[in-house]
Amino acid sequence: MNLAKVLKQKISPKLHKKLEEISYLSNKLNLSSYLVGGTVRDLFQDGLDRYDCDVTVSGGDVKPLAALLQSQWKCELQSYPAFLTHTLQFSDRTYLDIVTAREEKYSKPAALPVVIRGTLLADLLRRDFSINAMALSLNKNSWGELMDPLGGLMDLKNKKLKILHAKSFEEDPTRIFRAAKFLCRFGFRLKKETEAALKIAIQEKIIAKLSGDRIRLEIEKIIKEREPFPVFKQLKQWRALEQIDPKLKWFPSQIFRGDTKQSFKERAAFYLSLMLFGNSVERVKGALEKLHFEREVQDRVLENLNLARALEGGESVLKLPQKALEKSALLFLNYTVQHIGKQRNLKKRWQEYKKWIQCRPLLDGNTLIQLGFKSGPLFKEIFRRIQIHKYGGKLKNLNEEIRFVVDNFRRD
């Protein structure tokens, strides 16, 4: 099967040109290049355009090719010799991985593999699922030919996810997370033998052997999915989430798409807060630390949970830290109150909070300076006092706010 036309339609002209240049230089260096993995898989999916891609090279050392491409494209080159991988990074933040076709040997389950040079077939055989083990030739005489020795296309058409050997999950338990992700993203099912292997791996508590960093990376990738909750739900059903930390409970039951305008950190904090609401703050803190989530994400989740608890416990909104109530905290609380906040307190406090937000002063720092005040901590106090008065139904316009400030604060 030749996919040259599909390739041209599916990837950007810019990327297509790059692949042609790789083809030309590989030919000159007597190397063979192939597009592999997710990019080939996605050539068969509707509406999925890719900007990044992986190229596997066989027949010799890939380093000279990577160096030539770097000087031709004037981009950054990062090399990872232990993994025989070279990443070319472009100024538009897209990247291209050029990797030597390789075999992987695992010294023990869940360890990072030892990587050695191999054939294209060996390279495809070491991959996670058949749908991700197809290659597309970038070579001069066979440009666009699909190499599918492991039946990936058939599985893709039958909507089946199949591992390539029985120990796949044991060797790389992150594939359990990946399986849930692909099943949900594409609406696929596990092949019978794959399901049996996955269950055995989970029974053997294989996820617990992964480092916090590797687990976090998979969680982050799931959070980047269009719909993260079904993926977490699937993992929970498999009893995989509980292996991350046996004492931590996950509640991925809400069907909700985060705001796509959110930054990744906001999105991560939002989803983690919703799923972990229901655990003690201390427990969540321990788990997030173990997984090495970015400090900012950790802080936001803990702030969210603390706020929700405070509101639930009847704490007045006037006493809550205002900064924490921004961004993901606001979204989280709004959602919590609407969908899981059964306690009357939480709802009542939330209404109060919304009113409080609307009471922000009309007067700003410039006005205070014009009135003769020197900028400093007093400003914050003035704003807060105005807000409290407005909350109580007073100070209906800017003039009244100015009057209040002049009457109640000294200018020296």
Q: Which one of 152-160, 168-176, 321-329, 398-406 is the stretch in contact with ligand CTP (CB under 6 A)?
A: 168-176
Which is closer to ligand CTP, CB of 243 or CB of 298?
Answer: 243
Phi/psi at 78 (5° precision): -115, 130
Of all residues in this chain, which one has the CB nearest to ligand CTP in the complex? 38
| The one among 79, 119, 174, 367 contacting ligand CTP by CB under 6 A | 174
Using DSSP's 3-state secondary structure scheme, residue 84 falls into coil
Residue 266 touches ligand CTP, criterion: CB under 6 A: no
- To the nearest whole angstrom, how small is the minimum distance from the Cβ of residue 221 to ligand CTP? 6
Amino acid making up residue 242: E
- To the nearest whole angstrom, how small is the minimum distance from the Cβ of residue 102 to ligand CTP? 11
Q: Quick check: 148 and 41 in contact, CB under 8 A?
A: no
| The one among 172, 245, 266, 303 contacting ligand CTP by CB under 6 A | 172
Which residues inside 75-134 make contact with ligand CTP, applying CB under 6 A?
Answer: 127-128, 132-133
Which is closer to ligand CTP, CB of 110 or CB of 284?
Answer: 110
- To the nearest whole angstrom, how small is the minimum distance from the Cβ of residue 67 to ligand CTP? 23
- To the nearest whole angstrom, how small is the minimum distance from the Cβ of residue 104 to ligand CTP? 9
Q: How many CA atoms lie within 13 A of 229 on its CB side?
A: 14
Which residues inside 127-156 make contact with ligand CTP, applying CB under 6 A?
Answer: 127-128, 132-133
**Cβ neighbours, 10 Å, residue 134:** 28
Which is closer to ligand CTP, CB of 123 or CB of 303?
Answer: 123
Which is closer to ligand CTP, CB of 97 or CB of 242?
Answer: 97
Q: How buried is 293 (Cβ within 10 angstroms: 0-12 exposed, 13-18 middle, 19+ buried)? A: buried
Element (H, E) at 102: strand 102-105
- To the nearest whole angstrom, how small is the minimum distance from the Cβ of residue 205 to ligand CTP? 19
- To the nearest whole angstrom, how small is the minimum distance from the Cβ of residue 132 to ligand CTP? 3
Cα–Cα dist 106/342, whole Å: 49
Chain CA centroid to CA 114, Å: 27
Element (H, E) at 158: none
Bridge partners of 37, per DSSP, are none
- To the nearest whole angstrom, how small is the minimum distance from the Cβ of residue 219 to ligand CTP? 13
Using DSSP's 3-state secondary structure scheme, residue 371 falls into coil
- To the nearest whole angstrom, how small is the minimum distance from the Cβ of residue 210 to ligand CTP? 11
Q: Which one of 66-74, 173-181, 338-346, 379-387 is the stretch in contact with ligand CTP (CB under 6 A)?
A: 173-181
Which is closer to ligand CTP, CB of 186 or CB of 251?
Answer: 186
Bridge partners of 190, per DSSP, are 161
Contacting residues toward ligand CTP, per CB under 6 A? 37-38, 54, 127-128, 132-133, 172, 174-175, 178
